[in-house]
Structure 1
Amino acid sequence: MNIFRLAAIATLLASLSACTTYNYTSQQFVPKDPGKLNHLKKSASTYQFDDIEYIQADGAVSRGISIHKPETNFTVLYFMGSGVRVDANGSYIAKVFTELNANFISFDYRDFGRSDAPKSNVSLSDLEADTLALYDHVRKITKGKLIVHGHSFGSFVAAKLASLRPLDGLVLEGTGTSAQAYSDNMIPWFAKPFITIKLDQELQSIDNRIALKQYKGPIMIINGSNDVQTPAATAHDLYLALDKPNKRYEEIRDAGHMNAMSKPETLKAYREFIQTN
């Protein structure tokens, strides 16, 4: 039994000994899913919601959601973080883009969420090939400005795409320099002297600084000041490493890893980024 579990038990016992009463209503007790897309349909009633799919070269089926309406300002192709999927998180993620008067398209990664694959062992090269094909497909069917937005793990996916295609704009949110730095940030500071993370060769090759070296388009990096998973310092390191004039860095106060886009200052910066590029 570790010290954290002991502390939790001690806290529980203390609360029991104090005869504390907790009151619950049926509304609190019944489970709710705040990420369900039906919730967004109610608040974004002017938008049309379409289930979409794309068949990859090897037969894998990439499935996702397209949220759109006529006369929007731009379209966002959004690459989610690891473990994040359309049905569980899509409403929360897409909501801010409807507030920006943007169309929103996102796919679940292969063999995850809605998407299927002919094999269960998925490599990074598979994801890179999927990403490239999905971008080319979306670019063909999309009119106007198409912004590629990657969050967390998706920021590495988006950066790799930027090394292969000229983009109208690139937004990296909750990002960092490399897969090694990303992994090291998963270890709490007090455990770092005792734990070493070793990545395989494929993971070691992931580095946003290298991927973005030849990228010529506009880029904005967004990071929450309270982000523990991808600290703002590593995102700022990436920003400083980019030798290009059309770059922008936004550190969002009182924001963590998942909620930076919900802040008014982020939406303001996003609008300015779109209007000036």
Structure 2
Amino acid sequence: MKKLFPLVMLTAILSSGCMTVTVSSKQFVPRDTNKLALLKTSAPDYQTRDIEFVQADGSISRGVYFSKPGAQATVLYFLGSGIRLDADGAFFLKPFADLNLNVIAFDYRSFGRSDATTKTHGLKEIESDTAALYDYARGMVQGRLIVHGHSFGSFVAAHLAGQRKLDGLVLEGTGTDARTYAQNLTPWFAKPFVSYNVVGDVAEVDNRRSLQEIQFPILIIAGKRDTTTPEPTARELFDGLKQRQKRFVSVDAGHMDGMVFPEAKVAYKQLLQDVENSK
């Protein structure tokens, strides 16, 4: 309501003469257009099972296991900041059904389905959760387990890659470090007037450092229209990787939709082949 009526009044003021405004329930009733339940029709061969894991401090990580018999591999998927499974899961999980892959994904602590025992937490807790969830997922599934991080989740996944020997790693909508990430969120016209004081655990976030010693296949997916994590920052990260089994794909995407493009899916299949060949 707060957004609708100011817009209606403004339109009336700017318009010359009388006008009729049609108001229906669409303006008042919110809708999650990418609810998990939609996967029942878009990926009918898959089942979505609720799962949960109790962290060391008693916090509960809750998520889903999106699977079907005979899938080629399993992906442990780390969502972007502010993204929750129940609202956006269908959009993010569907491309993996197209690739014949299972997916395990959790909401972050104290967000979405998940709960936390403490009122405040930071990256240290998220990183600890991430390692525990990887170990849990590794014990759950047989065969290959690919770690995939999108946006903020790409920093989480990269840190994990520095702590565990993975079968393969995918970073989508990623960049180099926290300062650059913050700068990219600032409009170009405001950048001359903004300085950044990166403090605490955020100051330690640097994908280049996390990935400097990895020895397993990696794929970076960048969007040409991505203004949050622009393609050049993803390319900078890629160029600095010492790992020979690395792939970079640029698609005509924004920040959220890289995986829906055919080129990204082709690159994913190539990564899976790299994983098989590396064993």
Same fold per TM (> 0.5)?
Answer: yes
Counterpart CA distance in 1 for 2:264 and 2:18 is 45
For residue 259 of structure 2, the aligned residue among 258, 261, 268 is 261
- The 3 A distance-change label for structure 1 pair 130 and 42 is same
CA contact (8 A) 2:247 2:267 kept: no
- The 3 A distance-change label for structure 1 pair 19 and 73 is farther
Counterpart CA distance in 1 for 2:39 and 2:170 is 23
- The 3 A distance-change label for structure 1 pair 12 and 211 is same
1:119 paired to 2:123: no
Give the structure 1 partner of residue 42 of structure 2. 43
* TM-score normalized with structure 1 length: 0.91
Give the structure 2 partner of residue 199 of structure 1. 198
Give the structure 2 partner of residue 4 of structure 1. none
Q: 5 Å matches for 1:44-193?
A: 44-193=43-192
Give the C-alpha shift of residue 25 in structure 1: 6.8
- The 3 A distance-change label for structure 1 pair 29 and 59 is closer
- The 3 A distance-change label for structure 1 pair 22 and 263 is farther
Letter in 1 for 2:263: E
Where 1:237 maps in the other structure, the secondary structure is helix
Give the C-alpha shift of residue 13 in structure 1: 6.3
Give the structure 2 partner of residue 273 of structure 1. 271
Give the C-alpha shift of residue 18 in structure 1: 7.2
How many residues in Structure 1 have an aligned counterpart in Structure 2? 269
- The 3 A distance-change label for structure 1 pair 46 and 194 is same
Counterpart CA distance in 1 for 2:95 and 2:154 is 18
Counterpart CA distance in 2 for 1:218 and 1:122 is 32
Give the C-alpha shift of residue 276 in structure 1: 3.0
Give the C-alpha shift of residue 16 in structure 1: 2.2
Letter in 1 for 2:191: K
- The 3 A distance-change label for structure 1 pair 20 and 178 is farther
Counterpart CA distance in 2 for 1:69 and 1:185 is 39
For structure 2, list consecutive stretches of 5 or more residues without a partner in the other structure: 1-6
Counterpart CA distance in 2 for 1:91 and 1:214 is 34
- The 3 A distance-change label for structure 1 pair 33 and 211 is same
Letter in 2 for 1:16: S
After superposition, give the CA deviation of every residue in 1:53-98 in whole Å (9 maximum; x if it has no partner): 0001110100001111110011110000111111111111001111
Letter in 2 for 1:246: Q
- The 3 A distance-change label for structure 1 pair 274 and 15 is farther
When structure 1 is superposed on structure 2, of 228-237 and 37-46 the one drifting more is 37-46
CA contact (8 A) 2:217 2:274 kept: no
1:228 paired to 2:227: yes
Counterpart CA distance in 2 for 1:193 and 1:26 is 44
RMSD of aligned Cα (Å): 2.1
Give the C-alpha shift of residue 21 in structure 1: 6.0
* TM-score normalized with structure 2 length: 0.90
Give the C-alpha shift of residue 12 in structure 1: 4.1
Where 1:189 maps in the other structure, the secondary structure is coil
- The 3 A distance-change label for structure 1 pair 123 and 25 is closer
Where 1:184 maps in the other structure, the secondary structure is helix
CA contact (8 A) 2:63 2:104 kept: yes
Where 2:64 maps in the other structure, the secondary structure is strand
Counterpart CA distance in 2 for 1:33 and 1:161 is 31
Give the C-alpha shift of residue 46 in structure 1: 1.3
Give the structure 2 partner of residue 3 of structure 1. none
Letter in 2 for 1:276: D
Where 2:15 maps in the other structure, the secondary structure is helix
Letter in 2 for 1:120: K
Percent of residue pairs identical: 50
Give the C-alpha shift of residue 114 in structure 1: 0.5
Give the C-alpha shift of residue 274 in structure 1: 1.1
